[in-house]
Amino acid sequence: MSQSRDLTTGPVSGHFRALAVPMAIGMVFTTLYNVVDTFYAGMISTDAQAGLAISFQVFFVMLAFGFGLNAALNALVGKALGEKRAGQAKRIACQGITYSVLASVVLSIIGFYATPYLLAIVSEPGAYRAAGQSYLQVLLFAAPSFLVAFSANGILGAQGDMTSMQRAQIAAFFCNLVLNPLLIFGVPGVVGGIGFNGIAVSTAISQTGVMVFILHRVFCSDVMAHKQDAVFRPRGKWLNQITQQALPTCFTMIVMMMAGFVMQYFLKEFGAAAVAAYGVGLRVEQLILLPGFGLTGALLPIVAQNFGAGQFDRVREALWFCCKTGVLLMLCGSAVLWLAAPYAMAVFTDDPEVIRIGAQYLRVDGFILPVYIVLFAINSFLQALQKPIYTLWVGIYRQGVAVFAFVWLFVRLFDMGTLGVWFGLALAVTTGLVLSLVLSARVARSEIGGWRS
């Protein structure tokens, strides 16, 4: 049986090590999973890479609901555990699983009809749009696996279990590593491959395996072992509570993808090479951000349990530890991106224009890596205090209004080309951090007596 971790006692730094390290390792393999997809798409063509980039932006709209449910269940179950209300934690966990199943069915149906219209926003007619649409039609079959796995992992995360998803992500990476070439190219002389769609089929198979394993770990966890009956039949009270916590985060993630749509909207006028460069650059950037993702992901359950237990000094300690450590790590990452950007791009493509534009993006983006980490930490802090609506307001500004306004300014008014897209993004992120600090300070004063004791 999986054992819960009591995050309300012991050194905060020790809890970060115990949670952040396996989470970061798991995310390394998740990113490498995506890198494998990008690598094999590049072996097919630049249009295939561009198709993968635009399809990721569209599919992420659906995944946003998985992120929302993950954060909601992490916060709600974690707070209940901090309050020593294990029966309530079990009820929330059961209802969360039911919620994710229902949501995945509805979203798959919506996605099937909405995909062509969303792709039309971020691409021009042609080979790369056709590739993206074909890829998404297959990937929609894996949508329930993603959503249910995300939700179930939120239940595990609330208990301090980051190891289960780490193991699942490692297994999924190796599965994808084998299935991608097998499904794309086939076995010569034995069976033919299915081309670009093989990447999507590989994802559907491997992510279904992740879902099955994570659900198994949830049902073996301490929360589900409590004597309280497991109630999976939908109950309005609990579904409403989950919705109130999940939807702001869902919409925050959707707004995040609005920034992607805005970026693709401006980049498409510079051709498929610019679109492909942004897609590859995002994969490289994710690798550098992984230690920070681990830290800020660990912050949520630590704050949630201690908030539930009324230990506000530990809440503040956890937030500052996360920010300081994350900024130091990202300063190192900024140096790596500045020096190695073109070489990192060359791993995934031999197109010189894609390498040039991607390196340009990575070098500009490298300067704001520390800004990203503080933003992510504040988001986790607000979610753990069950105030996710503030992350939505910041997201609407940063990833909607500000990105469009600043990119338009640099591209249309100053005619800076692709460099203007990157500068616009950087300015939107930086001003978004300022707004986030103002709002989170207000929440901190209201909920825990301020950032400092």
**22-36, 210-224, 234-248, 251-265: segment of lowest average pLDDT:** 251-265
| pLDDT tens digit sequence for 380-412 | 999 899 898 898 888 889 888 898 999 999 988
C-alpha to C-alpha distance for 33 and 25, rounded to whole angstroms: 12
H or E element at residue 192: strand 191-192
Residue type at position 364 = V
| pLDDT tens digit sequence for 37-66 | 878 887 777 777 777 777 776 777 777 888
| Residue 170 predicted with pLDDT over 60 | yes
- Please state, in angstroms and as integers, the Cα–Cα distance from residue 80 to each residue in 93, 157, 311, 384, following that order: 11, 13, 14, 12
Instruction: Supply the pLDDT for residue 1.
Output: 44
Instruction: Supply the pLDDT for residue 199.
Output: 84
Q: What is the band of 153 on the pLDDT scale with cuts at 50, 70, 90?
A: very high
Highest mean pLDDT among 24-38, 241-255, 308-322: 308-322
| pLDDT tens digit sequence for 335-359 | 988 888 899 888 878 888 888 988 9
Instruction: Supply the pLDDT for residue 453.
Output: 64
The answer for residues whose C-beta is within 8 angstroms of residue 350's C-beta and 6 or more apart is none
- Per the model's pLDDT, the better-predicted residue between 332 and 194 turns out to be 332
| Residue 122 predicted with pLDDT over 70 | no
| Per-chain mean pLDDT for the chain | 85
- The answer to whether the CB of 159 falls within 8 A of the CB of 81 is yes
| Residue 240 predicted with pLDDT over 70 | yes
Instruction: Supply the pLDDT for residue 435.
Output: 94
C-alpha to C-alpha distance for 267 and 110, rounded to whole angstroms: 27
Q: What is the band of 377 on the pLDDT scale with cuts at 50, 70, 90?
A: very high
Q: In the numeric block, which tokens belong to residue 114? A: 């909405």
C-alpha to C-alpha distance for 394 and 102, rounded to whole angstroms: 29
| Residue given tokens 């390498």 in the structure block | 355
| pLDDT tens digit sequence for 10-34 | 899 999 888 888 888 888 888 788 8
Average the pLDDT over 143-170 and give the result. 90
Please give the backbone phi and psi of residue 306, each rounded to the nearest 5 degrees, phi first.
-70, -30
Residue type at position 194 = I
Q: What is the band of 206 on the pLDDT scale with cuts at 50, 70, 90?
A: very high
DSSP label of 187: E
- The answer to whether the CB of 79 falls within 8 A of the CB of 159 is no
Using the CB atoms, write b or e for 9-18: b if 16+ within 10 Å: eeebeebbeb
C-alpha to C-alpha distance for 303 and 79, rounded to whole angstroms: 9
**12-16, 144-148, 177-181, 260-264: segment of lowest average pLDDT:** 260-264
Instruction: Supply the pLDDT for residue 6.
Output: 84
Q: In the numeric block, which tokens belong to residue 450? A: 């301020």
C-alpha to C-alpha distance for 395 and 389, rounded to whole angstroms: 10
Residue type at position 19 = L
Highest mean pLDDT among 28-37, 71-80, 115-124, 275-284: 71-80
**Which three-class secondary structure state does DSSP give residue 407?**
helix
Instruction: Supply the pLDDT for residue 57.
Output: 65
- The answer to whether the CB of 200 falls within 8 A of the CB of 138 is yes
CA dihedral 31, 34, 35, 41 (to 10 degrees): -170
Residue type at position 392 = L
Report the helix count and the strand count for the chain, using DSSP H and E: 16, 2
Q: What is the band of 107 on the pLDDT scale with cuts at 50, 70, 90?
A: confident
Residue 51: how many CB atoms within 10 A of its CB?
32
Percent of the chain with pLDDT over 70: 97
- The answer to whether the CB of 107 falls within 8 A of the CB of 65 is yes
**Which three-class secondary structure state does DSSP give residue 221?**
strand
| pLDDT tens digit sequence for 276-304 | 888 888 878 877 888 888 888 889 899 99
Q: In the numeric block, which tokens belong to residue 100? A: 């994710």
C-alpha to C-alpha distance for 315 and 267, rounded to whole angstroms: 41
Residue type at position 354 = V
DSSP label of 401: I
Q: What is the band of 175 on the pLDDT scale with cuts at 50, 70, 90?
A: very high
Average the pLDDT over 325-330 and give the result. 92
| Residue 2 predicted with pLDDT over 70 | no
> What is the pairing mode between strands 186-187 and 191-192?
antiparallel
DSSP label of 196: T
Instruction: Supply the pLDDT for residue 249.
Output: 80
Question: Among the residues of 163-235, which ranges form H helices?
Answer: 163-185, 197-219, 222-225
Among the listed residues 296, 424, 430, the one whose alpha carbon sits nearest the alpha carbon of residue 369: 430
C-alpha to C-alpha distance for 362 and 233, rounded to whole angstroms: 48
C-alpha to C-alpha distance for 343 and 48, rounded to whole angstroms: 21
| pLDDT tens digit sequence for 218-230 | 999 888 887 677 6
**Which three-class secondary structure state does DSSP give residue 2?**
strand
